[in-house]
């Protein structure tokens, strides 16, 4: 009886082993033929026998299961998650190289799926896939950064805040080395996507001085976005605290200072905005100052201090005579005095005194046009495609009976409108 029992047990074990191998071979056959749906269906049958598998068979099964769920160019998040988890179980096995290659493919497919979602404006799906890619490759923290950006675009601010906070806690910088060269015609430094593209530009002599540079740290942007999310939640105290924490770690970081100024502008705390911008000016390079003085002009205007705003705009122009936005805003400040004159003109009656007053106001109005005109002309010279400035100039030329100039600018407007 004992011998028969042992024989029966051995026969049963042989039968189970045969069944295991049969099911595993069925998966292998389906994977090799590219029938991944069929392979996934066969995984379930084999999985029921997994508890009795020897180590060698189990490892082979896990590899085939991962490959079945990976498929080819598969971007299904659920499938890729199963494949990634299964490949991870093989890191210390004889299939470790296959597992790592599989994980790399999954990460690539996941990121490609995120890009497709992003292009389709499915920002939530893109954020989820990018966070999943980060979980599979923790060294690639940039995926978490892009996941946060997509969450913001999808207005999922709670998720964005969660990701940004993780990045902040890990002191993420996100600095990347980029290829650059100087454009011969404009003198501006431009970035290139790859070395071959830059080499063609240099050989074609459209660019000189090929070099590399590190992009700015993204920590200031992250701190700013955390603060902005808190503002959207109407939690201004946490917004300011988030910025203060970032500033404490990087007190001389000009990008953080500018972000702080942006936060105050967003909160409509114009006095604090002005303080922050003036602090930025102390650290700014000469190239950055025209824009900063322009921003100070904007804040002074919003605070109702038009005289100070004009001084800031003029300082911006003094530093950069081609700064079109400052010319435009100077003209707008001057023209803002027109409405009061128009209202007074419209309130006049038909008496002799009223007619005299009307003529006086008309001259005053024309003087406003004459004061604004040179600034608008400079604004258009700096930005020739700005159709709004062109239209403003056309109106002024007509009001001042400058018909020749009006005709010239009308031709330009027609050309611009034709290009719209």
Q: What are the boundaries of each domain within the chain?
A: 19-132, 177-214, 292-420
* Cα(134)–Cα(249) distance, integer angstroms: 26
- C-alpha 403: how far from chain center: 46
pLDDT beneath 50, residues of the chain: 1-19
Q: Please give the order of strands across the beta sheet that includes 207-214.
A: 189-192, 177-183, 207-214
Name the maximum alpha-carbon separation found in the chain: 136
Give the per-residue pLDDT at 11.
Answer: 37
Give the H/E segment covering residue 11.
helix 2-32
User: Does the reported pTM lie above 0.85?
Assistant: no
Give the per-residue pLDDT at 236.
Answer: 80
Q: What are phi and psi of 268, to 5 degrees?
A: 65, 30
What percent of the residues of the chain are helix, what percent strand, and what percent coil, each to the nearest 5? 75, 5, 20
Q: Which tokens is 129 given?
A: 């896939």
Give the per-residue pLDDT at 242.
Answer: 83
* Cα(326)–Cα(324) distance, integer angstroms: 5
Whether 161 and 226 have beta carbons less than 8 Å apart is answered as yes
Give the per-residue pLDDT at 148.
Answer: 95
Give the per-residue pLDDT at 14.
Answer: 40
Residue with tokens 């805040």: 161
* Cα(419)–Cα(222) distance, integer angstroms: 38
Give the per-residue pLDDT at 162.
Answer: 96
User: Measuring CA to CA, which residue among 380, 390, 379 is closest to residue 413?
Assistant: 390
Left, alpha or beta for 153 (phi > 0: left; psi -120 to 50: alpha)? Answer: alpha
3-state secondary structure of 303: coil
Give the per-residue pLDDT at 20.
Answer: 54
Give the per-residue pLDDT at 18.
Answer: 41
Residue with tokens 């189990």: 58
For residue 350, what is the DSSP state?
Answer: S
3-state secondary structure of 120: coil
First to last CA, the chain: 96
For residue 194, what is the DSSP state?
Answer: S
Task: Name which CATH class applies to 292-420.
Answer: mainly alpha
For residue 174, what is the DSSP state?
Answer: -
User: Measuring CA to CA, which residue among 365, 363, 369 is closest to residue 393?
Assistant: 369
* Residue 189 β-bridge partners: 182
Give the per-residue pLDDT at 149.
Answer: 94
């Amino acid at each position: 009886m004992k011998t028969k029992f042992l024989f029966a047990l051995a026969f049963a074990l042989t039968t189970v082993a045969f069944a295991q191998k049969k099911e595993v071979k069925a998966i292998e056959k389906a994977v090799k033929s590219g029938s991944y749906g069929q392979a996934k269906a066969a995984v379930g049958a084999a999985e029921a026998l997994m508890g009795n598998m020897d180590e060698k068979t189990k490892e082979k099964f896990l590899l085939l299961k991962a490959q079945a769920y990976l498929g080819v160019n598969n971007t299904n998040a659920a499938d890729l998650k199963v494949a990634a988890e299964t490949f991870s179980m093989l890191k210390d096995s004889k299939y470790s190289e296959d597992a790592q290659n599989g994980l790399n493919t999954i990460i690539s497919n996941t990121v490609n799926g995120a890009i497709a979602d992003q292009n389709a404006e499915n920002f939530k799906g893109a954020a989820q896939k990018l966070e999943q890619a980060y979980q599979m490759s923790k060294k690639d923290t940039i995926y978490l950064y892009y996941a946060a950006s997509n969450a913001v675009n999808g207005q999922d601010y709670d998720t964005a805040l969660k990701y940004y906070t993780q990045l902040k806690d890990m002191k993420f910088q996100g600095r990347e080395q980029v290829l650059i060269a100087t454009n011969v015609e404009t003198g501006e430094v431009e970035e290139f996507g790859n070395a071959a593209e830059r080499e063609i530009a240099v050989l074609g002599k459209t660019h000189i001085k090929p070099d590399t540079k590190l992009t700015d740290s993204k920590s200031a942007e992250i701190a700013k976005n955390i603060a902005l999310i808190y503002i959207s939640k109407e939690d201004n105290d946490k917004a300011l605290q988030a910025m203060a924490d970032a500033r404490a770690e990087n007190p001389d970081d000009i990008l953080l200072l500018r972000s702080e100024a942006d936060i105050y502008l967003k909160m409509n705390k114009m006095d604090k905005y002005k303080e922050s911008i003036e602090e930025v000016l102390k650290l700014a390079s000469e190239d950055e100052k025209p824009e900063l003085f322009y921003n100070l002009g904007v804040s002074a205007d919003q605070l109702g201090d038009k005289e100070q705003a004009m001084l800031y705009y003029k300082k911006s122009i003094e530093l950069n005579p081609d700064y079109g936005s400052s010319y435009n805003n100077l003209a707008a400040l001057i023209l803002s005095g027109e409405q009061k004159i128009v209202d007074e003109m419209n309130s006049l009656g038909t008496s002799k005194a009223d007619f005299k007053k009307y003529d006086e106001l008309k001259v005053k109005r024309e003087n406003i046009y004459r004061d604004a005109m040179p600034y608008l002309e400079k604004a258009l010279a700096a930005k020739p495609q700005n159709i709004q400035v062109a239209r403003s100039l056309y109106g002024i030329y007509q009001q001042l009976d400058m018909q020749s100039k009006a005709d010239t600018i009308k031709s330009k407007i027609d050309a611009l409108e034709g290009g719209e």
